[in-house]
Amino acid sequence: MRINPRQLSQSLNKGLVPIYVVSGDEPLLVQECCDSIRAAARKCGFSERELLHGEHNFDWGQLLASAGSMSLFAEKKVVELRLPGGKPGDKGSKALQEFAALAGDDLLLLLVLPKLDRSQLNSKWIKALDQKGVLIQVWPVDAGEMPRWIHQRLRAADLNAEPEAIQILAERVEGNLLAASQEIEKLKLLSQDNLITAEMMNDAVASSARYDVFGLIDRALAGDAENAIKTLHGLRAEGIEAPVVLWALAREIRSLLEIGEKLEQGQPLARLVRIQKRQPLVQAALARLRPRQLEGLLLRARAVDSAIKGGRDQDPWTGLLELTLNLSGKRSI
């Protein structure tokens, strides 16, 4: 049986199966699926757990040996195998198929894998495990789904949030589910009445540094070159790495190009920029920067990236200074 993480709880409530395969590249969701399976196994009397790491040169005989070795104090056992490469090879394929035949009421296999491609999903070993168990395929949460995912997490934490607050968190964590989850845990401690406002969210997820990259972007978009440069110097002084600043600037330039294109197609700004306070900033930037200028800024960003990687004889921070000035609507010297 193949299911997604949302279906796992219902599947576990119906009873355990001998084999669970958790596959995916999203660490938080993979970890939560494994935690749910382990908890359900403990409730059903699986008091022993053996953890194996199937890395390079792994002895697959250990997997089969673990099936026959049970402690004196345990009647049921979970064997958890983590296979970071996702490909067991011929020996591993054979061992997994043999283990599948042994797994049952007293022996449970939890196999943790990265995302599987089509050929792996059609392999003999996956089919053997699939026939006797459940395959949970974990997919990343894309940018469009992120606000809904955050909203669900907030509700699960007994928190209500303004739509703008959710959008702020979605933009700040940039698809990092673990970071989003940690911020929500922090919000649980900060909230007084279980309501998260946009202002509270903005304060909660701001960088702990006095100068933060989001402040740099907002000042540049507003055309406030003087304070944008002060912020850039502050970031450097506080040890923020150049690639982090470049990522923020390049991301915003790409976003401006995309928003400008959609505005030309007649789409409203309010739909394209969900955070109300940022709408005038974006509008001001697009009023002074034409698409050709933004494309030129992207080329400059690539040059800064090359300098960071040692491909150009230039101080990356000088390139970031020029990029910040240009985004602010000023010419560099």
> Closest Cα partner for 174 from 207, 144, 143, 214?
143
| pLDDT at residue 41 in the model | 94
* pTM: predicted TM-score of the whole model, two decimal places: 0.63
| pLDDT at residue 313 in the model | 79
| pLDDT at residue 1 in the model | 84
CATH topology identical between 146-204 and 213-327: no
Domain residue extents for the chain: 2-138, 146-204, 213-327
> Closest Cα partner for 328 from 221, 249, 247?
221
CATH architecture of 213-327: Up-down Bundle (1.20)
Query: Do residues 108 and 41 make contact, with C-beta atoms less than 8 angstroms apart?
Result: yes
**Collapsed DSSP state (helix, strand, coil) of residue 2:** strand
- Pull the structure tokens for residue 235: 């970031």
| pLDDT at residue 207 in the model | 44
Residues 6+ apart with CB under 8 A from 316: 242, 246, 304, 307, 308
Q: What is the pLDDT along the chain (333 residues), one digit of tens a residue?
A: 899 998 999 999 999 999 999 999 888 899 999 999 999 999 999 988 899 998 878 899 998 888 777 655 567 899 999 998 888 989 999 999 999 988 888 899 999 999 988 888 889 999 999 989 999 999 888 878 889 999 999 998 999 999 999 988 888 776 778 888 888 988 888 887 888 988 888 877 754 444 578 889 999 999 999 999 998 998 888 788 899 899 989 999 999 999 999 999 989 888 888 777 789 999 999 999 999 999 999 999 999 999 998 877 789 999 999 999 999 998 765
Strand partners, 196: 161
Neighbours of 211 (CB within 10 A): 17
Fold of 2-138: Rossmann fold (3.40.50)
| pLDDT at residue 208 in the model | 41
- The terminus-to-terminus CA distance of the chain in angstroms comes to 63
| pLDDT at residue 57 in the model | 83
Fold of 146-204: Helicase, Ruva Protein; domain 3 (1.10.8)
